[in-house]
């Protein structure tokens, strides 16, 4: 699947977001090595800190279905500019997906593509626990 197709799935995934407090919809589309796509939206909770981002929704869905090999994640937000994954999501993605491609799409449908390691250099990981 090409980057644009995956990114447009992230835009679609904004529809399944549940952000009643911020009203900021984020969609994520996580692509496995086999070509399957898992969608996620941000889900906000009245006790705000319990909110989960779209990226983590997608990766936890996939991981809990047994997926272990990932290629890329696409992210779409509600602001005009690119929606960059938050620090917590960067760590979760690095741990569970490895150094995948991160594809961001803005409201003009332009793409920005980075490796996760560019967003989270010198990442902590299981290697540091040994």
**Where in the sequence numbering do the catalytic residues fall?**
55
Q: Residue 4 or residue 86: which is nearer to ligand THU going by CB?
A: 86
Cα dihedral 90, 94, 97, 98, rounded to 10, equals: 140
DSSP 36: -
Cβ proximity to ligand THU: between 87 and 125 the closer is 87
| Single residue of 86, 87, 99, 109 touching ligand THU by CB under 6 A | 86
Q: Which residues pair with 113 in a beta bridge?
A: 103
Angle of helix 87-97 relative to helix 54-64, nearest 10 degrees, comes to 20
For residues 31 and 76, which CB has a smaller minimum distance to ligand THU in the complex?
Answer: 76
* Region of 47-55, 60-68, 102-110, 121-129 interacting with ligand THU (CB under 6 A): 47-55
Question: Which region among 3-11, 80-88, 90-98, 109-117 touches ligand THU (by CB under 6 A)?
Answer: 80-88
The count of residues in the chain is: 130
Contacts of 12 (CB under 8 A, 6+ apart): 27, 29, 39
Residues that bind ligand THU (CB under 6 A): 19, 22, 24, 26, 42, 44, 51, 53-55, 75, 83, 85-86, 89
């Amino acid at each position: 699947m090409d980057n644009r197709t995956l990114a447009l799935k992230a835009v679609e995934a904004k529809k399944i977001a549940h952000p009643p407090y911020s009203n900021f919809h984020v969609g994520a589309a996580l692509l496995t090595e086999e070509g399957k796509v898992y969608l996620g939206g941000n889900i906000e909770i009245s006790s705000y800190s319990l909110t989960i981002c779209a990226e983590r929704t997608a990766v936890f869905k996939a991981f809990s279905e047994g997926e272990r090999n990932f290629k890329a994640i696409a992210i779409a937000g509600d602001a005009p500019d690119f929606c960059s994954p938050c620090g917590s999501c960067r760590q979760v993605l690095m741990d569970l997906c490895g150094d995948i491609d991160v594809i961001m799409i803005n409201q003009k449908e332009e793409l920005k593509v980075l490796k996760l390691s560019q967003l989270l250099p010198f990442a902590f990981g299981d290697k540091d626990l040994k």
